[in-house]
Structure 1
């Protein structure tokens, strides 16, 4: 076995040489498991289709709202240029109700800020909203305080629009009392909500509820596409009307009345589909409404006969006949929720939803293109194992479609595709959906009726993913190209004006800065949150600050660099890489610098290095073998995707994750897993930072094909009072400092090649206080054929 690795890097090349020798003759296949999506918007998210806009692009950032496993209304931000998440994994809601009806409507306001609106599903007489403090909110603090306004009864389904022709008034439509649509208005800044106004009235029983889809041109019109009941228990029909200039109209522009005359009934609107008009007992449910090129909406709905027979249809307005023309689109397959779920003692959770289909959506940037979810392949009519996403293209106004698979042979189901508004260029156009388990619209803890014991009912467990519509190849393949930086006298200049008082020399592909020197090396690199900087560093004389960074100009900027060493610990400089040991030898750093200096991509013109030493001007910094690349190998922790591992090891202890998803903390006899589908090869490497401030019995990490202990996993000890004969203890080198130590484990040399499904994190402490602690951050899994700690997909040497 190989000797243990120490800290962040290496003091010799023996380990690298051994690894290269070992794998030089081995045929290596790609380690990461292939997926049909280009990015993950959230590791934990499910959403309903009656809330708009549930995803929205604003200034190149994709905002997506969803409901988490624990019931928080969540929000993620993803930079579409880099394909990476930025900011925090935000809990918008102060409440927790594990119900997929509670995702938020997202609305960019005309004043440059943003608004989010959400509520519990039929639980309180209160609506919730936030208005951002900044144009691009990335944290909960950026969103401002949570505000509320009263409503006549409980509610669900927020749909928010702002009309420029009405002095930028904001409308929010939602369902009240488990039945009827209501609305409120806000001022142009998303504040001062009005009293809730009853909009549509339909019947007196819960099943008479009017399910409504809305759309707006953002100027002067809001369209409404609604049912007269719940299709599982009612013989439903479909209707349309629209609001313009304070009045309400039928589809043929016949004025129904003033908006102040509301509520309106179904008989005031125009029939889109009348139950039984086609001679069948099929019942429709509305799915999507988007505007056509003529400004008239195009409608999409599902048409259900029974749980095995659902189809997708579109409806297009024909002004000549004054009616909606319906056209068959595709076989939707089977119902999503065909039966309730039951606890072990027979307790029933949720109910049958025979009318739930996978979902259909129109691409608003290309009106000839739609996306559907179905468990029937529209290309050949064959049933598929899971629900897949398909793209359909029409050249004859929807009379027929040419189909291609967006996903295929998926390990999980794929539901509710959606194309968000707001793209400023074709490269920002995406389709999003959620993938994973979806067997009910609720989750939660309940007590078993027979025993009173708690039972966790997990009706959904999925993540929100997406794919670029106009990028032909994987986005990773187009960005994962490393560049080598070679400083020399012609491409290096002073940085920070008077801050630079020193000199630079060049040798062996590197630069040495001394005498209170601050230097900038000319580069041309687009920095993103995935940007990683690889280099070797040494200092023969310690100064006040030794740092490296990236900047787009020569003016001093503390937020653009990371500290490696020095006597001064400026809080404005990222300090988590301040781990250099003062022996004057080279140490290797692989730093995800983009996460700390690039929430939004920018073009860097300079690599900045320093040996700041105002007092004595004796500090030195030497950097060599410098390269920049885009790294997609880091594990992103989502609080609600951290699962228990092996019930025999207890309840999993307690855990927490940081909002940016980089750090996982385990305490109190914690054994936890995150999903990691990865094909291990002999060159697979696992790197991470680890620390513990409370010594337990066993602190470790493992890769496992299942969630059972001692069933073939590969486990590594890092720290602890107890030895474990089933673990590899060559990496048990943590010294108990309470500070982070970096580990690099060539896991492919210890684990059998093949698929692993889980990454296991351990803070075992069965006895005594049972409060041992393990903290992991910056966890990366990647294949590294030549031993330079760069992901093979990004390595310029390959």
Structure 2
């Protein structure tokens, strides 16, 4: 019997991480916790993209009890498929990957200058590929700590892998093996989710294709062995040598008979996948959804390998598509996530009647060893807006910040003239966050008042100014504080901090991707002209020789001015 854990009928929408942010669920880890062995680093990073094309991340520092929202990249393609993913390097620096949605032949990345601290990101770099990219999922495994294994949707819109070098002294990396297509489906676009055992294997589960186009849509599972660079089924039978070409999959009965241990589910419905994890005995478990032929009925399932077979347990009815646009993306369920630390706990977004009508709420499903639901607990309740695409933050089990999700209305995965509001959600979590602490008074001033500011690099300061750039000229000095100036480069649209003949240029342009809102819907590989700011908030924060610049509340630059401090 299922036990429902009831709480008082109060409104609980969690706590806001950011008021503008979203993600797709195929690029992971979209959030990550890292605690160093010596305990000096204890931070969580949550990444997302907003409808203005800002790729961002919130960093929570559990030692300093503070959080900062970092601008990773401005003026990017405003598409929720472009959310960033995180990787901790052997030297404890944080590497952040991101890419456009399947219409550009490269990945972008930035690496923190300091261990575990994404407020110190270095310059933007590229990994050039021969095929279009999306959904970067990076791994470093203990049996090969000198390489990065990067998985993504690449060659022919199929699961793809490459082995990369670690960053050199200039943060450049090389592709040392691959890219190689892992499988070839009879479907046009298999969707894959990846995880690893941390040692020598990458596990991935994938569909025949997109459930919109494939009915039925099967679900498959394979291992990647990094020692042999071969593909294996769940029992360890070798299927292919990756470099020799992709393993061929299909939905025919002959295939299922020949390769039974590659097939997780062969239903009459349209399967899609949300997550893969590894249980304590070391067996794979999968969060999946079965979608009816007409796409109006979605049902969540928990698939787990028993050692002999894949057992699929029904969890909950997921309603239909969760969003506000009834004629597109009818296979977009509210979403589900497995707790990797206790894989018998699953969080699902399900439709619930509440104080504000029928909304998607996050519920926690607790399973027994056989995969049956034994208890259900409401995480959110009586919400004003939908709560969707939940995600348990990897390695966060010893922190108060474990679960995060999207909250709000959602119209489309891309901003366009068809749906200019796009994915206008916030990001919420189960953690209240840290109160804002300012040891130094934040001085509000005008540009004119700033000219008279008595500036001394030996003294800490925080200054906030509203800037109103000339959108025709859009260049030159925007703010002057004695010998310290904040400039706008006319050619690059990037802000520059200038001090004593040194120029510190931002990676990010001073503008937004709002131009996309008047452009046709779709991924066409174009970069539209950024929208210039007619007004913006600039904050300069100086402490102990470090200058931080914030554009509209987002940390843009962290600059060491220590050499100039006498």
Q: Is the structural similarity TM-score above 0.5?
A: yes
Residue in 1 that maps onto 2:143: 165
1:314 and 2:310 matched: no
Residue in 1 that maps onto 2:241: 258
CA contact (8 A) 1:214 1:224 kept: yes
Where does 1:137-286 land on structure 2 (aligned, <5 Å)?
137-139=117-119, 142-176=120-154, 179-189=157-167, 191-194=173-176, 196-203=178-185, 208-235=188-215, 236-244=217-225, 245-246=227-228, 247-266=230-249, 270-276=262-268, 282-286=269-273
Q: How far did residue 69 of structure 1 move?
A: 0.8
Q: How far did residue 72 of structure 1 move?
A: 3.0
Deviations 1:12-55 (A, max 9, x none): xxxxxxxxxxxxxxxxxxxxx975324x3322110000011000
Q: Report the Cα distance in structure 1 between the residues aligned to 2:398 and 2:110, rounded to whole angstroms.
A: 30
CA shift in 2, pair 1:263/1:178, >3 Å? closer
1:575 and 2:461 matched: yes
CA shift in 2, pair 1:193/1:658, >3 Å? farther
Q: Report the Cα distance in structure 1 between the residues aligned to 2:512 and 2:11, rounded to whole angstroms.
A: 23
1:70 and 2:52 matched: yes
Q: Report the Cα distance in structure 2 between the residues aligned to 1:237 and 1:328, rounded to whole angstroms.
A: 17
Q: Which runs of 5+ in 1 are unaligned?
A: 1-32, 277-281, 341-350, 447-454, 469-474, 477-527, 534-546, 549-566, 579-638, 643-650, 662-774, 778-798
1:102 and 2:82 matched: yes
CA contact (8 A) 1:332 1:357 kept: yes
Where does 1:330-729 land on structure 2 (aligned, <5 Å)?
330-337=316-323, 339=325, 352-376=328-352, 385-423=358-396, 426-444=398-416, 446=417, 457-468=420-431, 475=432, 530-531=436-437, 570-576=456-462, 654-658=534-538
Residue in 2 that maps onto 1:328: 314
CA shift in 2, pair 1:34/1:656, >3 Å? farther
CA shift in 2, pair 1:222/1:203, >3 Å? closer
Q: Report the Cα distance in structure 1 between the residues aligned to 2:126 and 2:438, rounded to whole angstroms.
A: 42
CA shift in 2, pair 1:41/1:658, >3 Å? farther
1:79 and 2:61 matched: yes
User: Greater CA radius of gyration, 1 or 2?
Assistant: 1
Q: Report the Cα distance in structure 1 between the residues aligned to 2:181 and 2:284, rounded to whole angstroms.
A: 20
Q: Report the Cα distance in structure 2 between the residues aligned to 1:362 and 1:83, rounded to whole angstroms.
A: 27
Q: Report the Cα distance in structure 2 between the residues aligned to 1:576 and 1:169, rounded to whole angstroms.
A: 41
Residue in 2 that maps onto 1:542: none
CA shift in 2, pair 1:138/1:163, >3 Å? closer
1:89 and 2:70 matched: yes
TM-score by length of 1: 0.51
CA shift in 2, pair 1:358/1:106, >3 Å? same
Q: Report the Cα distance in structure 1 between the residues aligned to 2:342 and 2:357, rounded to whole angstroms.
A: 27
Residue in 2 that maps onto 1:299: 286
CA shift in 2, pair 1:660/1:115, >3 Å? farther
Q: Report the Cα distance in structure 1 between the residues aligned to 2:190 and 2:165, rounded to whole angstroms.
A: 27
1:37 and 2:29 matched: no
Q: Which of the residues 107, 112, 116 maps onto 2:96?
A: 116
Aligned-residue CA RMSD (Å) = 3.6
Q: Report the Cα distance in structure 1 between the residues aligned to 2:80 and 2:370, rounded to whole angstroms.
A: 34
SS in 1 for 2:91: coil
Q: Report the Cα distance in structure 1 between the residues aligned to 2:318 and 2:108, rounded to whole angstroms.
A: 35
Q: Report the Cα distance in structure 1 between the residues aligned to 2:134 and 2:420, rounded to whole angstroms.
A: 22
Q: How far did residue 353 of structure 1 move?
A: 1.2
Residue in 1 that maps onto 2:547: none
Q: Report the Cα distance in structure 2 between the residues aligned to 1:419 and 1:76, rounded to whole angstroms.
A: 15
Q: Report the Cα distance in structure 1 between the residues aligned to 2:29 and 2:463, rounded to whole angstroms.
A: 40
Deviations 1:701-726 (A, max 9, x none): xxxxxxxxxxxxxxxxxxxxxxxxxx
Q: Report the Cα distance in structure 1 between the residues aligned to 2:189 and 2:419, rounded to whole angstroms.
A: 30
SS in 1 for 2:413: strand
TM-score by length of 2: 0.70
Q: Report the Cα distance in structure 2 between the residues aligned to 1:175 and 1:655, rounded to whole angstroms.
A: 39
Q: Report the Cα distance in structure 2 between the residues aligned to 1:432 and 1:660, rounded to whole angstroms.
A: 30
CA contact (8 A) 1:389 1:405 kept: yes
Q: Report the Cα distance in structure 2 between the residues aligned to 1:253 and 1:173, rounded to whole angstroms.
A: 20
Q: How far did residue 361 of structure 1 move?
A: 0.8
CA contact (8 A) 1:358 1:374 kept: yes
Q: Report the Cα distance in structure 2 between the residues aligned to 1:530 and 1:396, rounded to whole angstroms.
A: 43
SS in 2 for 1:155: coil
Q: Report the Cα distance in structure 1 between the residues aligned to 2:286 and 2:102, rounded to whole angstroms.
A: 27
Q: Report the Cα distance in structure 2 between the residues aligned to 1:530 and 1:50, rounded to whole angstroms.
A: 33
Q: Which runs of 5+ in 2 are unaligned?
A: 1-9, 36-41, 250-254, 442-452, 465-510, 515-530, 542-550, 554-566
Residue in 2 that maps onto 1:695: none
SS in 2 for 1:438: coil
Residue in 2 that maps onto 1:128: 108
Q: Report the Cα distance in structure 2 between the residues aligned to 1:317 and 1:217, rounded to whole angstroms.
A: 15
Q: Report the Cα distance in structure 1 between the residues aligned to 2:94 and 2:360, rounded to whole angstroms.
A: 34
SS in 1 for 2:399: helix
CA contact (8 A) 2:537 2:552 kept: no
Q: Report the Cα distance in structure 1 between the residues aligned to 2:241 and 2:264, rounded to whole angstroms.
A: 22
Q: Report the Cα distance in structure 2 between the residues aligned to 1:776 and 1:283, rounded to whole angstroms.
A: 43
With CA pairs under 8 Å and 6+ residues apart, which has the higher RCO, 1 or 2?
Answer: 2
CA contact (8 A) 2:89 2:95 kept: yes
SS in 1 for 2:24: coil
Deviations 1:728-759 (A, max 9, x none): xxxxxxxxxxxxxxxxxxxxxxxxxxxxxxxx
Q: Report the Cα distance in structure 2 between the residues aligned to 1:776 and 1:234, rounded to whole angstroms.
A: 44
SS in 1 for 2:153: strand
Deviations 1:258-299 (A, max 9, x none): 3333422225661000133xxxxx111011111100112111
